[in-house]
Amino acid sequence: MTAGRRALVTGAGSGIGAACVDRLLSDGCRVAAVDLHAGDMADRAGELEAIHEVDVTDAAAVRAIDGIDEVDIVVQSAGVVGPNVPLLETPADEWERTLRVNVTGIFNVMQATVGGMVERGWGRVVNIASIAGKEGNPNLGAYSTSKGAVIAMTKSLAKELATTGVLVNSIAPAVIATPMNLATAPEVLDYMLSKIPMGRLGQPEEVAALVSWLSSEDCSFSTGACYDISGGRATY
């Protein structure tokens, strides 16, 4: 049960983040939503504990979120796809931006939230990575690198906190039907879909169901794991 727990979801305005908000609300959590475009969530103000328009790459802005050190559950879905070009043609500024959002953003939020969880002896962190972080997708070198870093960072912190009551896990989805992915170049989307034995895109609600368990007390002996939700693409 997670009823009454305080949850913070980044990238909450659409896609996986929005589905996680819905699922955690249905689980009885009090949910604060963080997004770069918080105006998109204005109609949800009555459901949510708070809505914060914050760039997760800005560590000071993250730390300034009201109640950031009182959060019990953190779900990190904020991210960008980055440049769709061969690695050797990737512009340095786009490489740096992709890692800043997808890696440093997660680092910033964990630094601001996890200390309070450790003090209280209970917490759950779920970082959204990607199957690309395990296998690498061609022409998405910055994205693949960033998601591999998320998996490694999750494992590292989980080992540091293993006896504190704070569990830190990641999820590696294959391509999910989100606005971010549906805006991907058709040939890239077709490539990713061809790798999925189920032959379909995953749905945000399917990812949110896994996040729900990882955020709960029922998840009690799993930390530092990377859970595949890939329609059969991952075979290890």
CA distances from 134 to 6, 23, 114, 150, 174 (A): 31, 27, 25, 10, 11
- Orientation of helix 92-99 relative to helix 141-160, angle to 10°: 30
For 9, the 3-state DSSP assignment is strand
Give CA–CA dist 69/66, Å, rounded: 8
Q: Are 217 and 2 in contact (CB under 8 A)?
A: yes
**143 classed as catalytic:** yes
Catalytic residue among 143, 191, 227, 236: 143
Catalytic annotation, residues: 143
